Amino acid sequence: MPIISQRSEILFLYDCKNCNPNGDPNNGNQPRLHEGTRKCLVTDVRLKRTIRDYLMEKGYDGQTDADRDIFIRDEDGVPTTGAKRSESYDNKEEFTRKFIDVRLFGGVSAPKGKKKEATFNLTGPVQFGMGVSLHPVEMNFIKGTGAFASTEGAGNKTFREEYNITYGLIGFHGVVNERAARHTGLSEGDVDELMEAIWSGTKGLLSRSKKGHMPRLLVKIDYSEPMFFIGELQEQLSFVGREDIDFKEVTDVADYTLDVAALNEKLRANAGKIARITVRQDDRLQLSEDIFTK
């Protein structure tokens, strides 16, 4: 499949309920919050892990097809090193052909030994900014009992402590750079896999700390003008009746309507530079109007 030749922009919204969307290991695994705004933060690394995990489950595991694999992953359930993973390729061409996450996100190859032809650094065509909730969130501290006794023969069980947020609508913005794609070989088929992984991978987050995630809106804008994109799409979103919304009481997507009028204004103003707009929307998300497409 040919390498992509146009720039694209991605807007992704998902919500999370009574869970921890991205714990900070340096802060007791608490949800990441911006101190000033109390908005929830989710790193692009977390989103990329969701995408990689979904693609692994879909068959990019290097087993049935050696050229369908994920570079940054565990092996047999155990974390591994880049040097260890480098044993499965010999040069840049093989590196990009084998690993879809390299074609998407780039990668650093620095194997041990004298494999100089396999030492390189590729910038990823797909780049996401930090995910941010569109509103302040409420963080909860929860105590409970564990499954095992505190000591051998003890009558009391261990205690556990955890943090979560009551509700958060998280927004991610990304750009697919056609110029960087020349170096990794990113194809339209790869981007199609990416879009499906963003949606279905998020919905499939069913671990104890992540259950409660639901994808709500995924917009992809393909541009006809080279090197152009609108940018800051998530900044064009707001809530209908924002002054009346107390997000301490919001617990579900049905509790608000998302205002997309400013986003549509931007899309229409730049329609001459846009080749197509595709929208995937969950039927429970209430929008102020349909998103402009062409």
Model pLDDT for residues 144-203, shown as the tens digit of each residue: 665 555 555 555 566 678 899 999 999 999 999 999 999 999 999 999 999 999 999 999
Residue-level pLDDT at 36: 95
pLDDT in tens, 87-141: 888 899 999 999 999 999 999 988 877 677 788 899 999 999 999 999 999 999 8
CB 288 within 8 A of CB 261: yes
Give domain status of residue 289, yes or no. Answer: no
Domain of 268? 8-281
Give domain status of residue 217, yes or no. Answer: yes
Give domain status of residue 292, yes or no. Answer: no
Q: What is the rounded average pLDDT of the residues 39-50? A: 97
Give domain status of residue 121, yes or no. Answer: yes
Name the nearest CA neighbour of 173 among 102, 257, 236.
236
Q: What is the rounded average pLDDT of the residues 214-242? A: 96
Rg for the chain, CA atoms, rounded? 21
Kindly state the percentage of the chain with pLDDT values over 90: 74
Give domain status of residue 288, yes or no. Answer: no
Residue-level pLDDT at 152: 56
More confident position, 134 or 210: 134
* Paired strand residues for 281: 217
Query: What confidence tier does 234 reach under pLDDT thresholds 50, 70, 90?
Result: very high
Residue-level pLDDT at 224: 97
Q: What is the rounded average pLDDT for all residues in the chain?
A: 92
Give domain status of residue 290, yes or no. Answer: no
Give domain status of residue 2, yes or no. Answer: no
Give domain status of residue 238, yes or no. Answer: yes
For the chain, how many structural domains are there in total? 1
